[in-house]
Amino acid sequence: MSSSLCIDLKGKTALVTGGSRGIGRAIALRLAEAGANVAINYLRHRTAASETAQAIEERGAQALILKANVGEEEHIQRMFDEIGKTFGRLDILVSNAASGVLKPALELKLKHFHHTMDINAATLLPLTQHAVELMGADGGRIVAVSSLGAVRAIPNYTAVGASKAALESLVRHLAVELAPRNINVNAVSAGIVETDALRHFPNREQLLQASLERTPAGRLTTPADVADVVLFLVSDLARMIVGQTIVVDGGYSIMG
């Protein structure tokens, strides 16, 4: 990178899981604006993926759409085969897709818990293993998107919160193993962000209002706020940040 401190990702290739909508879309567009070609993964909503791919191309970057369930190893394999064929390499992996069962702990079945852990946490393992193969000698960057539920107890968030805690731990373990290969692994943990995901919360309005009132910055965190920190983490500016979880919440979580 030049000494002008401009983040230039030209010639780089990124994969953003769940890159079709919400926070993932904002990340995909930021990376494209910085010059990276971006593969976006989705599971159900093809139209959203097509619209995001078009927006990536409007920013002068190449887009690749990959339909895959990140909870399924064979799907992940197919996704990376496609990336290998199209781009021949990968420099940046953003593990952002998430799902999960929102229920009080006493109503959660073990299968709900396993499902949530697979999609939100365990997936980082095969994603990273495949990404490393395509990263080569120059190394690369891996960022996982977490949430404050990793370290706080939030009603109905038991399974997702536990999965995010596992994700952040996995980030630290992978970071230690991959740092010698010049691959930095970190996480970004966001406060409440108004995306479609919140529609699944029975107490959505209450959550948004409480979050707003408690946020010293005076507004809710946006997808773009999260995307900017991801951009920083994948840039050369963050070269010595290894295995960290960076909180992006306008100060919400430090309030007493």
Ligand X SMILES: NC(=O)c1ccc[n+]([C@@H]2O[C@H](COP(=O)([O-])OP(=O)(O)OC[C@H]3O[C@@H](n4cnc5c(N)ncnc54)[C@H](OP(=O)(O)O)[C@@H]3O)[C@@H](O)[C@H]2O)c1
Q: Is the CB of residue 128 less than 8 Å from the CB of residue 184?
A: no
| Residue 20 touches ligand X, criterion: CB under 6 A | yes
Block residue for tokens 């920013």 = 59
Q: Is the CB of residue 117 less than 8 Å from the CB of residue 162?
A: yes
| 40 CB neighbour count, 10 Å cutoff | 31
Nearer to ligand X, 90 or 190 (CB): 190
164 catalytic? Reply is yes
| Residue 107 touches ligand X, criterion: CB under 6 A | no
Block residue for tokens 């976006």 = 40
252 catalytic? Reply is no
Binding mask 45-74 for ligand X (x = CB under 6 A): x--x-------------------xxxx---
Choice among 12, 85, 111, 157 that is catalytic: 157
Judged by CB under 6 A, which of 9, 23, 29, 64 binds ligand X?
23
Within positions 138 to 157, which residues make up the interface with ligand X, using CB under 6 A?
145, 147
CA distance 123 to 144: 10
Nearer to ligand X, 34 or 229 (CB): 229
**Of 238, 184, 246, 240, which is closest to residue 221 (Cα–Cα)?**
246
In the complex, the residues that contact ligand X under the rule CB under 6 A are 17-18, 20-24, 41-45, 48, 68-71, 96-99, 119, 145, 147, 190, 192-193, 195-198
